[in-house]
Amino acid sequence: MGDAEAEAGYYPLGIGRERKGGFTASTFVFAFTALENMGFVANMVSMFLYFLQVMLFDLSTAANTLTNLMGSTFLLSLIGGFISDTYLSRLYTCLVFGVLEILALVLMTIQAYSHDLHPDPCGKSNCLEGGIALVFYLSLCMLALGSGGVRGSLPALGGDQFDQKNPKEAKDLASFFNWLLLSITIGAAVGVTVIVWVSVNVNWYWGFFISSVAALAGFVILGFGKPFYRLRAPGESPIIRIIQVIVVAIKNRKLPLPEKPDHFYEISDEGTISTEEQIAHTHQFRFLDKAAILREDSKPTPWTVCTVTQVEEVKILTRMLPIVASTIIMNTCLAQLQTFSVQQGNMMDRHLGSMEVPAPSIPVIPLVFMSILIPIYEFFFVPLARKFTHHPSGITQLQRVGVGLVLSAISMAIAGIVEIKRRNQATKLGPSTKPLSLFWLSFQYGIFGIADMFTLVGLLEFFYKEAPAGMRSLSTSLTWLSLSFGYFLSSVFVDVINAVTKRKGKKGWLHGYNLNENNLDLFYWFLAVLSCLNFLNYLYWASWYKYKAEVPDSKPKPRALYGPNLVDHDESSTLDNDQARAICGATHAKDEIPQENEAKNNEACSSDLKEAGND
């Protein structure tokens, strides 16, 4: 396929051409996801100890540095999502930011290897200074930008391989996000066992080196999948479209709203091939509807009037924001499993028979559970639920998120109980008493792992399906935005709680280096109570949310770079014969048959249409 078709904004039905997308293309995405997360997750669960042991941070500084890194990584996913919607295809966005991620891992490998780049003990909470600090923070910034950019564009790249308007592919799309999570889980399980063991028991630089090689292999595989992908061409900036609606609505604020929705401005696709997905009008946020009023003395330009579809895009994103906000607390709880829970495990009995298990490897327990539960969920629960709900995913995405929020609250409550048992056994029963087994932590990790299985997939699928076609990368980045705010909020909670509880000669709940002198259990219970209150808040917003409704007779033709557009053979019935022949004729005229040879052109179209009908 050449550039002419991409410039036209869509591809023909793929008549007589190889079908692309589907699970064949997704296989490359799954392989990349497993390899890239192998190092990413391993580093995120072990880097807390790296900050403590090599960079010589104290407990709160190490925890906040890691949560700030994670928060920045997921916040920067918005940049990746914006670029892949506007300037580059989603594949090229992944590859460009992948270069930054690999360079960051190489720089971290060099710093971990060279003792000249390690700080000397100083007795302070942070001993980094000069060139050592420059290399350290530069590598973290590059890692955050690279990893964030990849995460902002990858889920939408995978989702683009399935057409939501095709009933079969709509079910496949729901399955895609489950298998994407399974790929993350498998890669993470290898990372938290193999890479973490190498980092802790051999040397930290070997762990970073293996992460670099795994990420490089993943990006190479992702690039090799290019001939199989459906690649959507970048379009108009979603940020500009949002700003236009707000600006025009403010300009028209004094105009009365029409009595009927069909009096609003919309581009009709009657007699044309529309390249824009049309969205039905809703009655929420009526003020924004004023942007779709065309003044009598005005011409329809982007800054004087917006279509109903454009207004509804802004409404959809606005409705999504309370859902994003309602999942932040859960991700604050997740941050504790990568910081304080790792330090808990480091002070417990880490022996499994004669083998000593690194504390950061304890997340392998929930990862194993998830590896088993995801196929069970996909092959047994979803088909059973479909019979009752008739929903392609079995249950709605917001219902999945709600289950995850409940389980996260239970996980934090159990974490508080386990910490009391661990601290009592370490401090009150004498030094000769054997420490509590590391595997007591598997309860809080296991329950939270199941919570993450429900919530992460639910959010990714929710934001992808509800988003307008040209904003899907930016929309799925809202999942990572929730994670980002959760990690940042964790840093705020640690500092604020330490400040509030440090009074009248008492030390803060999370002070110093020794957990046995802290009140980590109270911090866990604080998060458990907060999670319960947050769940009530989520129930309100989830019941208030109105799912997107598309115009029934609209015929969207999403833009594509390569391969057929996202309306395939199975949907050829959505076009009447005259429209299909018109598209086909234009394609043959451009690609193979001189335009003046009309008879030969029509004969070729008839042949291809017959072949498409057989498919």
User: DSSP letters along 524-564, please?
Assistant: HHHHHHHHHHHHHHHHHHHHH-----B-TT-------SBSS
Are 129 and 208 found together in one domain?
yes
Are 300 and 380 found together in one domain?
no
Are 378 and 439 found together in one domain?
yes
**Range of 302's domain?**
238-267+278-306
Per the model's pLDDT, the better-predicted residue between 448 and 268 turns out to be 448
Residue 513, pLDDT score: 64
Q: Are 331 and 411 in contact (CB under 8 A)?
A: no
Q: Which of 547, 582, 601 is the last residue of a domain?
A: 547
Helix (H, G, I), strand (E, B) or coil at 504: coil
Helix (H, G, I), strand (E, B) or coil at 125: coil
Q: What is the gyration radius of the CA atoms in the chain, in angstroms?
A: 27
Q: Are 564 and 17 in contact (CB under 8 A)?
A: yes
| 69 belongs to a structural domain | yes
| 389 belongs to a structural domain | yes
Residue 118, domain CATH: 1.20.1250.20
Helix (H, G, I), strand (E, B) or coil at 608: helix
Please determine, for residue 242, whether its predicted confidence score (pLDDT) is greater than 80: yes
The alpha carbon of residue 339 and the mean position of all alpha carbons in its chain are separated, in whole angstroms, by: 21
- Summarised one tens digit per residue, pLDDT across range 150-171 is 988 888 888 888 887 777 777 7
| 611 belongs to a structural domain | no
Number of domains in the chain: 3
Are 224 and 341 found together in one domain?
no
* HSE-CB of 416 using CA atoms within 13 angstroms: 17
Strands 351-352 and 355-356, sheet pairing: antiparallel
- Summarised one tens digit per residue, pLDDT across range 426-461 is 777 665 566 778 788 888 888 888 888 888 888 888
* HSE-CB of 591 using CA atoms within 13 angstroms: 19
Are 282 and 366 found together in one domain?
no
Per the model's pLDDT, the better-predicted residue between 126 and 274 turns out to be 126
Are 213 and 282 found together in one domain?
no
Of 137-146, 171-180, 255-264, 268-277, the range with the lowest mean pLDDT is 268-277
H or E segment and range at residue 356: strand 355-356
Helix (H, G, I), strand (E, B) or coil at 349: strand
Of 69-73, 500-504, 572-576, the range with the lowest mean pLDDT is 572-576
Of 206-220, 245-259, 360-374, 393-407, the range with the lowest mean pLDDT is 360-374
Alpha-carbon span 570 to 67, nearest angstrom: 47
Q: Are 275 and 557 in contact (CB under 8 A)?
A: yes
Angle subtended by helix axes 472-501 and 442-466, to nearest 10: 140
Residue 549 confidence class, pLDDT cut points 50, 70, 90: low
Q: Are 405 and 447 in contact (CB under 8 A)?
A: no
Per the model's pLDDT, the better-predicted residue between 26 and 363 turns out to be 26
Are 154 and 176 found together in one domain?
yes
Are 334 and 385 found together in one domain?
yes
| 552 belongs to a structural domain | no
Are 189 and 259 found together in one domain?
no
Amino acid 349 reads D
| 615 belongs to a structural domain | no
Are 242 and 216 found together in one domain?
no
| 574 belongs to a structural domain | no
| 553 belongs to a structural domain | no
Residue 377, pLDDT score: 84
Amino acid 503 reads R
Of 75-89, 496-510, 527-541, 553-567, the range with the lowest mean pLDDT is 553-567
Rounded to 5 degrees, what are φ and ψ at 397? -65, -40
Are 224 and 145 found together in one domain?
yes
- Contact partners, residue 293, CB within 8 Å, separation at least 6: 252, 255, 257, 258, 264, 265, 305
| 613 belongs to a structural domain | no
Cβ-count burial of 42 within 10 angstroms (0-12 exposed, 13-18 middle, 19+ buried)?
buried
Are 339 and 257 found together in one domain?
no
- Summarised one tens digit per residue, pLDDT across range 297-329 is 777 777 888 888 888 888 888 888 899 899 999
C-alpha pair distances (Å), 411 with each of 170, 415, 523: 33, 6, 13
Residue 429, pLDDT score: 64
